[in-house]
Amino acid sequence: MIIETIVSTRSASGSVNFAPMGATFSSDGRVVFVVYHSTQTYRNLEANLSGVINLVSDVTLFVKTALYDFSPAHALSNHVEGGIMDLAEEAVEFEIDNIEPMEGKSKLSGHVVSRKTLKTPEAGLNRGRIAAIEALIAVTRIGVLDRMEIAQTMERSREIVNKTGGAKELEAMKLIEEVYEKAIDVDSEDSGKPGSKR
């Protein structure tokens, strides 16, 4: 099972990076990620082989760290090269000990150094939060997925968030929409240019 998390890592110069990422936790205390080579997260993990998985329920944090130049309030880990978010409900510090190269990405796995419960997670399952995550994933796939597929995901997510979401989910969807609309505008301009492949 893949859990949506926010992974923090540190560069060789010491700066902290936060990025949403799906993580798999195994019963034997290991974690697995698939990380694209083009990302700062990959470069940081390649350099330092460790980081922190931040488990959070605030969907706006996923949106801001994925789409905006945003570094949430955090404290540096004492055990690994990463940051523990102030709003994290749980922090899982890990070290990478295996890297399997794939085309354009790598499968990284490692062992858990420590796992700390910091706050009581919000109870219940909100459809608006899940829908906002789906919209976020769709927007980060612009240029990869079919435009109609992305538009349909956005429309469906928007409806669910409006019906079932709270303030955080509505804020998250608004931020996603801003990025989506800008991307659509750029895409429309490019499609009208001579020689465009779109």
pLDDT tens-digit readout, 127-166: 999 999 999 999 999 988 899 999 999 999 999 999 999 9
Q: Work out the pLDDT band at 187, boundaries 50, 70, 90.
A: low
Read off the pLDDT of each residue in 168-184 and give the average, rounded to a whole number: 95
> Which of the residue ranges 89-93, 118-122, 128-132, 135-139 would you say has the lowest mean pLDDT?
118-122
What mean pLDDT do residues 15-30 have? 94
Contacting residues for 161 by C-beta, under 8 A, at least 6 apart: 128, 131, 132, 135, 169, 170, 172, 173
Positive/negative CA dihedral, 84, 8, 122, 155: positive
Please give the average per-residue pLDDT across 18-32, as a whole number: 94
Residues 6 or more apart from 55 whose CB is under 8 A from it?
3, 5, 88, 89, 90, 91, 92, 121
**pLDDT exceeds cutoff 70 at 168:** yes
Alpha carbons within 13 A on the beta-carbon side of 189: 6
At residue 108, does pLDDT exceed 80?
yes
3-state class (DSSP) for residue 97 = strand
Is the predicted pLDDT of residue 193 greater than 60, yes or no?
A: no
The domains found in the chain, sorted by start residue, are 2-117 (2.30.110.10), 127-191 (1.20.58)
Are 35 and 22 within 8 A, CB to CB? no
Q: What is the pTM of this model?
A: 0.89
Residue 29, pLDDT score: 86
